[in-house]
A = this chain, B = another copy of it.
Amino acid sequence: MAGTDRSRAVSVDAALAPVIILVRPQLGENIGTAARAMLNCGLSELRLVSPRDGWPDAKAHAAASGADSVIDQAKLYADLPAAVADLQRVIACTARPRDMVHRLIAPEKAAAELRAWAARGERSGVMFGPERSGLTNEDLGMAEAILTIPLNPAYASLNLAQAVLLVGYEFSRSHFEAPAEQMVNNELTRPATKEELTGLFEHLERELDESGFLRIKEKRPSMVRNIRSALQRAQMTEQEVRTFHGIIKELSQKRKPPA
């Protein structure tokens, strides 16, 4: 619901999208909400490395409402090497490691690498650690890069599903993103032509001249320019121009004494 776009039907190619690997997740509910976050971003392949409460997990299913397909097809592995065995690239999503030299990448860079690997036909995955403790240095030994999500250092606590959402969002934005800016529902009408706008400006200025609003001659050019500029920025449609003609007419008639 909140602020999402259902109007575009583009999907992520499952064979190219990264696998999401949850390493020793503790709470079934988090597995379920992570599955939802995956599906929000068009990701469908979930792998689980020895979840604490076993698998299948009723709580995971309950929390995944609507993303059941992701949960139903999730694969279970005994250890991380087995879970990533067929992958060619693995990124670890974790806090900055403390005592290990590693390549650290920002989410945007990670998404670009994932897309570049996919374009070359390379299978990739992103792994997330247990809720409480995160990935171990041994786990990190399976990854070629570490992705750390940039957040408020004073309050960086994110739950598992939110971390999956942010990583999936970065990966999938190129698939789902609309143009940076567009006018919507323009099919209801069309942008006004400059001639139509000029007609509106002239109508308004005629009325303002008549009312005396523009009576100070030396100020008139700049006032007209400023009014036109403000109305230009509104990027009116043809329909709106007609509406404003009506408004000007209506207001002018109220001002004029009845004939």
Contact = CB atoms under 8 A, between A and B. Distances in A.
28 contacts: A1-B131, A1-B134, A2-B160, A3-B149, A4-B95, A4-B149, A4-B151, A4-B157, A5-B95, A6-B153, A7-B96, A10-B153, A11-B154, A37-B162, A40-B151, A41-B151, A67-B155, A98-B185, A100-B185, A101-B183, A101-B188, A103-B184, A104-B178, A146-B184, A151-B176, A162-B162, A165-B166, A166-B169
Interface of A is mostly: loop
Given A40-B155, A166-B165, A3 B95 contact: yes
A230 interface: no
A43 B112 CA distance: 27
Task: Quickly give the copy total for this chain.
Answer: 2
A106 interface: yes
A102 interface: yes
Interface of A: 1-12, 36-37, 39-42, 66-67, 93-109, 128-129, 131-132, 134, 146-163, 165-167, 169, 172-173, 176-186, 188-189, 235, 237, 239-240
Contacts of A2: 93-95, 128-129, 131, 134, 149, 158-160, 162-163
